[in-house]
Amino acid sequence: MASVRLESVVKRFGRTIAVDRVSLEIGDGEFFVLLGPSGCGKTTTLRLIAGLEYPDEGRVYIGGEDVTYREPGERNVAMVFQNYALYPNMNVYDNIAFPLKVRRRKLGLSNSDIRERVLEVARMLRIEELLDRKPGQLSGGQQQRVALARALVRRPSVWLMDEPLSNLDALLRIAMRAELKRLQKELGITTIYVTHDQAEALSMADRIAVMDRGRVMQVGSPQEVFLEPRHVFVATFLGSPPMNIVRCRISYSQETAQISCPGFTRIVPQTVGEGEVYLGIRPEFIKIAPHSGEGALRAEVLVVEPLGVEKIITASLDGETQIKIKTALDVEVKPGDTIYLELDWSRVSVFDAESGRILETLTKELREP
Amino acid sequence: MSRVGDSPLSLKIKEHVRAYLFLLPALALLSVFVIYPIAGTISISLRSEEGFTLGNYIAVVTERSPTKALIISENLGGAPPWGALLHNAVWILVHVPATTALGLVLAYMLTHVYGRSVVKSLIFVSMVIPMVVGGLIIRFIFDGQVGVIPRLMGGLGLEDLARTWTAYPETSLASLIIGSIWLWLGFSLTIHSAAVDNIPRSYIEAARIDGASELQIFRYIVVPAVWPATLTVAVMTLLWDLKIFDIVYAATQGGPGGSSTVLAYVMWLYFARALDYGKAAATAVILTILTLVAAAYLVRRSLGVEKR
């Protein structure tokens, strides 16, 4: 068991910067997820921790020890690969035993010790009856379990996973999600998990780091990154559909400032500067009002998408700006209807239009009732 | 009345007839240029003054003159000549493992090297040059005056090896075998490189994270993964060693004193020097039978791979 710390780590491939001054602190026993679109540097960050890449700048610590330039085999980390990387010529038993066999002398293990430990993890992952099969004879889910077993057999201090569920079918993926999380909590292994799937991240993580173009945009609990995005990128990457972003202007009129958005304006109690901002509100926090009233926004329905238990409505605020609303299935609207929307102002976020960063004071002001 | 053409059996026959019709042109060509010559060779090899006998075969196998003998048992343990067939065997025993292993090791080592494609191309050049030219180059490499190897040996103080290798029975066969390792390495390296490049990178990375040393990765991950390629290289090299002729002809003419002669060269001596077509054909048949054994394995294996 160990904590992991990255100190302003930089990794370049030729001219592109894959990882740009990333600093992270991952606690002992934590389930930490690196989330981001493809090419955001999350896998490279994981590989830097594993030792498969060496950083150009910065340092990597595992358990307080500087391992920046240490060989991957000497970091006591285990990794589960996206394609599982099971050795096709060995049977399941030999695959799981491999990490112990190659370091047998160093670990001082006898054959029966190895056997015992392989059987132990096989039992834990319920693959005992598969031990003499070859990986090619296993289903995707079984291969996944073998890969997990191989990673666990050496009792690593850090467990690294690179999109381990992405090759499974949807149902199995959801089942494995719960199982992985249970396993991780049971064993208490510090886990760093890379994924581009926000549902995976939100459902499993203790904390999430959202990455974009090599940088960490925000680190926080699933709820924090979902409800309190620090950056427009985080707001628009998470959620399905993601947060609505509306371009607004702040202007002065005498004592008070005013935020004017397409279709509505609102007085801001205190002056907060001038210029363009983005107003963000999640589709979940917009309600359809029965009729026009104070503070209700007029909108025209463009598209209605029923999704089983809920509906996603795309509406237009001023003919141009589109906004998505998540409602219950029984809300009866159809394209062309005029509807009135109520925003839950306690859930809005305002971002600087240039940097994309959250404007904290303004957000706080707007959220005040 | 039922029509005959409708029964499944006759449909099947029709199908076969049609297939053979399509094969006919190719079969005709094959008959004229492959099957007839083979049959002809066998027939010549069996013909002698006493009619159809195995006389030519017995004569060829029991031949004792050093330049044409297939097996000279009394020289075994000493320097060559040991007989053409044994020379082929020694060639195979040394050349096949050496070329295969060297190509495999080099292919994996080159994955760690910057500019590997240049190195690979340079080594592959040996595969592109004609074998006759290769034979001549071997002669120069082992030449006492200008050759690299004798110079090197001289520098190391090995006076016995600092002379023209191809001119002494003790070293002529060795020089050809070593030269052929160089000539054939490009092939082995190219095939193995392709196979090594096909190993998913994650296999090797997983092994590295699991704490395997480079040697263990090579032994447990790389070698099993490229094994089919290795077998192909080994069998192809073996076939080539059985049929080998051109570099022997160009470098040593089987000499000195038959110390580097091989089966195909003996066949050529019977055919072009002695004009003894019966014995030449018998040698050719022996050579073909040996080659077929190796080739049959290769064909069966490649068919097996296709079925999978």
- Cβ distance A89 to B224 less than 8 Å, yes or no, reads yes
| Torsions phi, psi for A177 (to 5 deg) | -55, -50
Residues of A within 8 A of B210 (CB-CB) are 73, 78, 98-99, 102-103, 150, 154
The C-alpha atoms of residue B93 and residue B82 are separated, in whole angstroms, by: 15
B221 and B75 in one domain?
yes
B20 and B112 in one domain?
no
B12 and B120 in one domain?
no
The C-alpha atoms of residue A64 and residue A59 are separated, in whole angstroms, by: 11
B181 and B39 in one domain?
no
Q: 3-class secondary structure for chain B?
A: CCCHHHCHHHHHHHHHHHHHHHHHHHHHHHHHHHHHHHHHHHHHHHEECCEECCHHHHHHHHCCCCCCCCCCHHHCCCCCCCCHHHHHHHHHHHHHHHHHHHHHHHHHHHCCCCCHHHHHHHHHHHHHCCHHHHHHHHHHHCCCCCCHHHHHHHHCCCHHHCCCHHHCHHHHHHHHHHHHHHHHHHHHHHHHHHHHHCCCHHHHHHHHHCCCCHHHHHHHHHHHHHHHHHHHHHHHHHHHHHHCCHHHHHHCCCCCCCCCCCHHHHHHHHHHHCCCHHHHHHHHHHHHHHHHHHHHHHHHHHHHHHHC
The amino acid present at A195, given as its one-letter code, is: T
Q: Please count the other Cβ atoms lying within 10 Å of the Cβ belonging to residue B272.
A: 9
Q: What ipTM goes with this model?
A: 0.82
B78 and B46 in one domain?
no
Residue B273 near residue B158 (C-beta atoms within 8 A)? no
Q: Is A8 left (phi over 0), alpha (psi -120 to 50) or beta?
A: left
Residue B186 near residue B124 (C-beta atoms within 8 A)? yes
- Taking the alpha carbons of A129, A131, A132, A134 in that order, is the dihedral positive or negative? positive
- Cβ distance A73 to B208 less than 8 Å, yes or no, reads yes
Identify the closest residue of chain A to B227 by CA–CA distance: A89
* Shortest alpha-carbon distance between residue A162 and chain B (Å): 11
- Cβ distance B224 to A50 less than 8 Å, yes or no, reads no
B292 and B249 in one domain?
yes
Residue B194 near residue B229 (C-beta atoms within 8 A)? yes
The C-alpha atoms of residue A180 and residue A61 are separated, in whole angstroms, by: 25
Q: Does residue B61 sit within a domain?
A: no
Q: What is the mean pLDDT of residues B179-188?
A: 90
The C-alpha atoms of residue A158 and residue A67 are separated, in whole angstroms, by: 13
Q: B4-29 pLDDT, tens per residue?
A: 556 777 888 888 888 889 999 999 99
Q: Does residue B59 sit within a domain?
A: no
Identify the closest residue of chain A to B201 by CA–CA distance: A85
For every one of its 369 residues, what pLDDT tens digit does chain A have, with 9 covering 90 and above? 689 999 999 999 989 999 999 999 999 999 999 999 998 999 999 999 999 999 999 999 999 899 999 999 889 999 999 989 999 889 999 999 999 998 888 888 888 899 999 999 999 888 989 999 999 899 888 999 999 999 999 889 999 999 998 888 888 888 889 989 999 998 899 999 999 999 999 999 999 999 999 999 999 999 999 999 999 999 999 988 999 999 998 887 777 778 888 878 888 776 667 788 999 999 999 988 877 777 788 889 999 999 888 999 999 988 788 999 999 888 888 898 889 998 898 999 999 988 999 988 888 888 886
Determine the residue among A46, A89, A157 to mutate to test chain B binding: the one whose Cβ has the most chain B Cβ atoms within 10 Å. Answer: A89
B166 and B134 in one domain?
yes
Q: Does residue B60 sit within a domain?
A: no
B137 and B91 in one domain?
yes
Inform me whether the pLDDT recorded for B245 exceeds 60.
yes
Pick the CATH number of A243-367 from 2.40.50.140, 3.40.50.700, 3.40.50.300, 3.30.70.20: 2.40.50.140
Residues of B within 8 A of A50 (CB-CB) are 205, 209
CATH number at residue B239: 1.10.3720.10
B144 and B113 in one domain?
yes
The pLDDT assigned to B6 comes to 61
Inform me whether the pLDDT recorded for B3 exceeds 60.
no
The pLDDT assigned to B275 comes to 86
Q: Is A74 touching B (CB cutoff 8 A)?
A: yes
Residues of B within 8 A of A192 (CB-CB) are none
The C-alpha atoms of residue B139 and residue A6 are separated, in whole angstroms, by: 61
Alpha-carbon dihedral of residues A59, A65, A68, A74, nearest 10 degrees? -160
Structural domains counted in chain B: 2
The C-alpha atoms of residue A151 and residue A70 are separated, in whole angstroms, by: 19
State pTM to two decimals.
Answer: 0.80
Token pair recorded at residue A60: 């990597």
B301 and B256 in one domain?
yes
Tell how far CA B50 is from the center of its chain: 36
- Vertex A85, ends A82 and A89: CA angle to 5°? 155
Q: Is A89 touching B (CB cutoff 8 A)?
A: yes
Residue with tokens 């095939």: B191
B230 and B124 in one domain?
yes
| DSSP of A215-284 | EEEEEE-HHHHHHS-SBHHHHHHSTTTT-EEEEEEEEEETTEEEEEETTEEEEESS----EEEEEEE-GG
Determine the residue among B114, B203, B205, B209 to mutate to test chain A binding: the one whose Cβ has the most chain A Cβ atoms within 10 Å. Answer: B209
Pick the CATH number of A4-236 from 3.10.50.30, 3.40.50.300, 3.40.50.11270, 3.90.180.10: 3.40.50.300
B219 and B147 in one domain?
yes
Token pair recorded at residue B127: 């595969």
Domains A4-236 and A243-367 share a fold: no
Domain range for B260: 66-307
The C-alpha atoms of residue A18 and residue A203 are separated, in whole angstroms, by: 27
- Cβ distance B207 to A79 less than 8 Å, yes or no, reads no
